[in-house]
Amino acid sequence: MINWKWLYQQLPKPLLVALLIFSALGGFEGVLNGYVLGQVPNLTAATIAQRLQYVALAAALYLSTYTCLYLSLCLQQSAINIWNVALKGHLLRLSGALNEPASKGINRLTNDANQIETRYFRLILDCGQNLMMTVISIWFVLVVNWLMGLIFVAFSALTMVPMVIAEQPLAKLGQRASEANAETVAQATDWLSGLAELGQYGAAHTFFKRVNRALHQSEKRLQQQTVAQYTAQFATWLLVVLALFGPMLIGFLLMAHGGFGITIFNPIDPATVCRSCHFRRSQRDQRLESAGQHQAAPPAAAFSNQPLLCCYA
């Protein structure tokens, strides 16, 4: 029986540990761009040496992160290979024990095994990688500023609402499209099978009208399903915009009132559902500002202790 325990038992422990480590390290891809690009404003008054240090450190971060991600993908493929060997051997033994025809056993080996690999093995690994990246991204934004991090996570969760609401209607539309397609295939099969007889009586054109109606109906059902998918996607895009500018507006309001020590908040990239920027000024500057004696802060070094952080969630 193939379950979580079976999957775990098939993998060597060193491979499993390496997979977890490199998946976690590769998961920093989700916050890398935000962190590196968030340092750019600190370089406006930096020296050439500091800017070169920034470029070298950024390149090292990108290289190490994508190397870990590459190794993670290679390890995932190794795990899939191990699972496939065990699965196909199990299916062949099962087919032999059931005295199935050779054609059915071969079908298990090719079709069934490929379906399990695509819909089960790869899906599990992909979900694990995405979960790792999500956890790291959420942790990162919460470390930057826990309040704005929670606000961003809450707004980002809204983007899942359209697909959750549309799940059942889309399933019904998909079922209707499938039934309409089956009817089209049946009508077309009947027409082609009896075409010779229908031609003898001059009724081929008349009976083709039934096929044509079925074709129009099946294409209409498919169009309805596709439009519903586009509608759900459009609603998701709208909520992505809300998830981007909603936290920004809240951040500006908190900044104006000095709430929770937030001084400036500016998401920079609308391509990601949840990105935030938070500039933390030094305690010295804050004290001077509150006393009406604010002075310009000294030039910030590359990757300073008080950076402008942009985070992805």
The answer to whether position 233 is within a domain reads no
The answer to whether position 172 is within a domain reads no
The answer to whether position 130 is within a domain reads yes
How many domains, in total, are found in the chain?
1
Residue 260 is predicted with a pLDDT of: 58
The answer to whether position 29 is within a domain reads yes
| Average pLDDT of the segment spanning 127-147 | 82
pLDDT band at 291 (very low <50, low <70, confident <90, very high): very low
Residue 73 is predicted with a pLDDT of: 93
| Average pLDDT of the segment spanning 111-126 | 86
19: containing domain: 1-143
Q: Write the DSSP assignment of the chain as a string of letters.
A: --SHHHHHHHS-HHHHHHHHHHHHHHTTHHHHHHHHHTTGGGGTT--HHHHHHHHHHHHHHHHHHHHHHHHHHHHHHHHHHHHHHHHHHHHHHHHHHTT--HHHHHHIIIIIHHHHIIIIIHHHHHHHHHHHHHHHHHHHHHHH-HHHHHHHHHHHHGGGHHHHHHHHHHHHHHHHHHHHHHHHHHHHHHHHHTHHHHHHTT-HHHHHHHHHHHHHHHHHHHHHHHHHHHHHHHHHHHHHHHHHHHHHHHHHHHHHHTGGG---B----TTSSSEEEEE---HHHHHHHHTT---PPPPPPTT-SS-EEEEE-
The answer to whether position 290 is within a domain reads no
Percent of the chain beyond pLDDT 90? 25
Residue 207 is predicted with a pLDDT of: 81
The answer to whether position 138 is within a domain reads yes
The answer to whether position 217 is within a domain reads no
The answer to whether position 45 is within a domain reads yes
pLDDT tens for 205-237 read: 888 888 899 899 989 998 998 999 999 999 999
pLDDT at 84 over 80: yes
